[in-house]
Structure 1
């Protein structure tokens, strides 16, 4: 299509995607309070001072900061729900716009990425939601004896969403590594040689995105490390399959193939391998041939 047709198609698909997000956001506003309760559920709440004392300070009171904070929180939560629930629509519109420009094998790999990447991301989000109720009480246990924990709704929502996104993308690490291997960017042997640096990097990442709780860091680092070694195993198996089909497939563009330098017996000229070089030539006259 000409450029104007591409731009027109992009405009129409963006309009459909935005309309789907707006419709779902408006509907989600009627259930915003239920969504807020779901996202703030990992926080142990104190409904009275006696309850806080009975739990040793491991609870908090939810608060709103400012007069407009409840309304802005409703809007943010509804918009977040609209983006998540309407994801199949706007992802399909993006795919439909890019798919005609892809080759058949590229479309096959794209479907595989979506089929594997989406469940991995959801597993990471669920893992973060499972971990938060176990990590937050540890943080609240550092509260002074005579102090009361006041946590704003915006703060707990920010922590919950940030943890869910961080865990979701962390679980995409094996998929990215396998894709790099399939594209010939990195080999499985090279990935295996990185294992020390990768283990340390995963531990640092887990410490940065999780609350200041060693158990939370370990709970994130162990499954991500296991997924890294799983991706390495898949890449090694793929490299072995590739070598069996094409022994030179693992060579780089600047690397020469192995040459067979074993000497071999060459056949002689016409007339047999044992004939003299001048056998069959016309007789010389006065030491010179006809050409001379």
Structure 2
């Protein structure tokens, strides 16, 4: 019977460590989801998510459920998504704990801020979408809806719309992180990014036109923050590169 080589033992130990971290991350999400089940409860969570749409509907109007189990299944899906967002810092901490032992000191100064900032920016994008964009988008749409049409959104379609919009805005708010990574890896310089600024602005509006509904409000609500966050990335990137340089890069 042959014994394992050091390389094989190291590989197996890394797999075991990865499994343990994934299990801990899953347990954290499950605990947050279980807590949300008891308070405030799936129905209250969905009511909160649906509030921007309900506020734009005529008084007394409600959404409809065309599926038999949709009134149960959709709030459960929403609760699971909210649980994942709330437990994102714990999930990212598990990721950090897995990769940190193999990093140098200057690399830890590189990874830790990126992990923290990316999670905070994603949450900020979701919050911006819910509190600022949804109300204006739904009000804009309702103003242009003919009076002969009874607007009764289906809860599953509404959930798909909300999730896609929140994902789009969450990903958009990661623009500063992308800029910092590109500059830190030496793939592009800050001066070069400043030169292509007009193309970035055009690209922001093209992306907004693709991922948002075909109305001016939502498109501008996505494109303008994307441009501003690009400028933020240009300001932060030089400082971040200087702080996270390796000793040999400073000499």
TM-score by length of 2: 0.82
In 2, Cα distance between the equivalents of 1:141 and 1:197? 34
CA shift, 1:116, in A, is 2.6
CA shift, 1:220, in A, is 2.3
- Is this contact kept in 2: 1:28–1:78, CA < 8 A? yes
Helix, strand or coil for the counterpart of 1:63? Answer: coil
In 2, Cα distance between the equivalents of 1:211 and 1:178? 30
- Is this contact kept in 1: 2:56–2:142, CA < 8 A? no
Aligned-pair RMSD on alpha carbons?
2.6
What do the CA deviations read for 1:159-192 (whole angstroms, capped 9, x no partner)? 2222122112111112211221122110112111
> In 2 relative to 1, CA 21–194 (structure 1 residues): closer, same or farther, beyond 3 Å?
same
More deviation, 180-189/2-11: 2-11
Q: Which residue of 1 aligns with 2:211?
A: 209
Which runs of 5 or more structure 2 residues have no equivalent in the other structure?
1-8, 243-248
Q: Which residue of 2 aligns with 1:162?
A: 164
In 2, Cα distance between the equivalents of 1:237 and 1:47? 47
User: Are 1:41 and 2:42 an aligned pair?
Assistant: no
> In 2 relative to 1, CA 29–235 (structure 1 residues): closer, same or farther, beyond 3 Å?
closer
What do the CA deviations read for 1:72-116 (whole angstroms, capped 9, x no partner)? 113212221221222232222222111112221111111111333
- Residue 175 (structure 1) aligned to one of 174, 177, 197: 177
What do the CA deviations read for 1:177-222 (whole angstroms, capped 9, x no partner)? 1221122110112111211211110011112222222122223222
Number of residue equivalences:
233
Alignment of 1:1-292 (within 5 A): 2-30=10-38, 31-45=41-55, 51=59, 61-129=62-130, 130-235=132-237
> In 2 relative to 1, CA 147–122 (structure 1 residues): closer, same or farther, beyond 3 Å?
same
In 2, Cα distance between the equivalents of 1:125 and 1:46? 20
What do the CA deviations read for 1:232-290 (whole angstroms, capped 9, x no partner)? 34457789x8xxxxxxx9xxxxxxxxxxxxxxxxxxxxxxxxxxxxxxxxxxxxxxxxx
- Is this contact kept in 1: 2:64–2:155, CA < 8 A? yes
In 2, Cα distance between the equivalents of 1:47 and 1:233? 42
- Is this contact kept in 2: 1:44–1:137, CA < 8 A? no
In 2, Cα distance between the equivalents of 1:227 and 1:81? 25
- Is this contact kept in 2: 1:174–1:231, CA < 8 A? yes
Helix, strand or coil for the counterpart of 2:138? Answer: helix
Higher radius of gyration, 1 or 2: 1
Which runs of 5 or more structure 1 residues have no equivalent in the other structure?
53-59, 242-248, 250-292
List structure 1 segments (4+ residues) > 4 angstroms apart after TM superposition. Answer: 45-48, 233-239
CA shift, 1:230, in A, is 3.2
TM-score by length of 1: 0.71
- Is this contact kept in 1: 2:180–2:236, CA < 8 A? yes
